[in-house]
Amino acid sequence: MTRIAIIVGSTRPGRNGTAVAEWVHAYAKTRTDAEYELVDIEQFHLPLLDEPVPASMGLYSKDHTKTWAATVASFDGFVFVTPEYNHSPSGALKNAIDFVYGEWNNKAAGFVGYGSVGAVRAVEQLRLIASELQVATVRAQVALNLATDFENYSVFTPGDHHQANLTTLFDQLVAWTQALEGVRADAQDAVAA
C-alpha cells in the first residue's frame, strides 16, 4: 500500500503547525487509497546539519541521521505542512530536508502552508528544493491565512472552502505517488545491480 507522510514543518514552541497537520491527517484517515502517518520533525531532535559528507553520497555517520533517513525512506510521498517565516519555510524544515538525499528521490509531494499570505512564498521555495531532490510536486495546495483561518492568530479554525483544495491535493498526490512506483523500483534495481 502507498505510504504518505504528513510532515510537521516547524519546531517552534507554540507553533500552529501541529493543529494544521492534525487537521490534514484527520482528513487523510478518511481516505482508503493510501496509508497516512503524521511525522513531526521536532521529535527527531536533528541538530544543525552535522554530517561531514554531503547527503547525496548517502554515507550517513550520525545515529540521528540514520533514524531520519529510515523514516523518510519508508514513505512513497509527502505532505509538507509549512509555516512561512520571512518569505521562506522554517529553518528547521529546510535543515531536516537537507540531512538526507536519496531517500527523497522519485517520490511526490504536496503542500499545506499557513502564514499571512497562506505561506505561498515558502511553498514556492520548497518546490525548488523538491525539484533538486527529484521529488515531483503536485499543483494543488492549501493556503491557510493566519488572519482568517486562525482565531487570534493561534487557534486553528479553517474555513470550509479549504476542504475542496485538500481533497484535490490528496487526489493529485496519490496519483503521482503511484505513477512513480515504477521509477522508484527501477532506481532500486539500479542500485542493487
Quick: pLDDT tens for 91-116: 999 999 999 999 999 999 999 999 99
Write out pLDDT tens, residues 170-192.
999 999 999 999 999 888 877 77
Q: Is residue 85 within 8 Å of residue 129, measured between CB atoms?
A: no
Above pLDDT 70, what percent of the chain?
100
C-alpha cell at 63: 545515529
**In the predicted model, is pLDDT for residue 38 greater than 80?**
yes
Cβ–Cβ contacts within 10 Å for residue 60, how many? Answer: 20
C-alpha cell at 38: 503524521
**Which CATH number covers residue 71?**
3.40.50.360
**Confidence band of 126 (pLDDT split at 50, 70, 90):** very high
Q: How far apart are the first and last CA of the chain?
A: 25
Domain containing 162 equals 3-192
Main-chain dihedrals φ then ψ at residue 136, nearest 5 degrees: -85, 125
Write out pLDDT tens, residues 147-178.
999 999 999 999 999 999 999 999 999 999 99
Total number of domains constituting the chain? 1
Cα separation, 65 vs 45, in Å, equals 10
Which helix (H) or strand (E) covers residue 92, if one does? helix 91-99
Give the model's pLDDT for residue 192.
76
